[in-house]
Amino acid sequence: QVQLQESGPGLVKPSGTLSLTCAVSGVSIRSSNWWSWVRQAPGKGLEWIGEIYHSGTTNYNPSLTSRVGIGVDKSNNQFSLNLRSVTAADTAVYYCVRVNFLVTDYSSAGYYAMDVWGQGTTVTVSS
Amino acid sequence: DIQMTQSPSSLSASVGDRVTITCRASKSIGIYLNWYQQKPGKAPKLLIYGASTLQSGVPSRFTGSGSGTDFTLTIASLQPEDFASYYCQESSHTPRLFTFGPGTKVDIK
């Protein structure tokens, strides 16, 4: 089955760069899926950060686009997140996610949804 | 940008209750609406996509409905494992921009 596993430092200093990697297993990152990052600040809701296709095409949350970069490493079947100039407000659980195109039973229409999630990794921004 | 709201923000219910959660979009999103369940300390789980299609393996007591700006998630008979937070999410943008609702926490009465 498809599994995603986040890895990276759990502590980042203010003004530094948060860097995470997501290892994908059970499916090729070259498949027709998008690969995304979602975060959740303590006690808060879910926030979509951005996504990447294996071609390198990206979409980012406009609120983060000036600070975020998502990359793909096809040789290692993984993708990554870089978030620059972090502050305490970036402290959160970060999830890597597969975005899949799911079809309905009743029509040929399909919809993008986040069907596989990593377990999440906690990143704290603190000096 | 599209804003998503949910109501209520929290509710208390008993096992066996019928529970309805509402999600509203600030403008029409067709049926580009997904629902997720999140238990404490766990990653979210996809329940419903396309407003009403149940993801594989999700119990049939969960149903989704709605289109345009107003959507509902209904749990027909609440089970102990259903106590969790529920999030709606729209995916109508081109280029894509996923927006989550603020969530609804369902806890035990």
The amino acid at residue B80 is: P
Ramachandran class of B52: left when φ > 0, alpha when ψ lies in -120 to 50, beta otherwise: alpha
Could you tell me the CA-to-CA distances from A99 to A53, A111, A125, B19, B96 in Å, in that order?
A: 10, 10, 27, 28, 11
Mean pLDDT in consecutive groups of 10 residues from the start of chain B, 109 residues: 95 97 96 97 97 96 97 97 97 87 95
- Please answer yes or no on whether A104 and B96 come within 8 Å at the CB atom: no
| Interchain contact, B36 vs A114, CB within 8 Å | yes
Please measure the distance between the N-terminal and C-terminal CA atoms of chain A and give it in whole angstroms: 39
Q: Do A113 and B95 touch (CB under 8 A)?
A: no
Tokens of B88: 């709606």
Q: What are B11's two structure tokens?
A: 């509710």
Please tell me the predicted confidence (pLDDT) of residue B95. 80
Please check whether residue A59 is in contact with residue A113, taking contact to mean a CB–CB distance below 8 angstroms.
no
Nearest to A114 among B42, B46, B95 (CB): B46
Cα nearest neighbour of B97 on chain A: A61
- Subunit contact B43:A95, Cβ cutoff 8 A: yes
Contact A36, A95 (CB under 8 A): no
Write the residue in B38, B42, B50 that is nearest to A111 by C-beta: B50
pLDDT at A109 over 90: no
Q: What is the Cα–Cα distance from A90 to B81, expressed in whole angstroms?
A: 31
A positions 41-80 inside 8 Å of B (CB):
45-48, 51, 59, 61-62
The reported pLDDT for the residue numbered B96 is 83
- pLDDT tens-place string over residues A45-100: 999 999 999 999 999 999 999 999 999 999 999 999 999 999 999 999 999 999 99
Give me the residue from A59, A105, A114 closest to B95, CB to CB.
A59
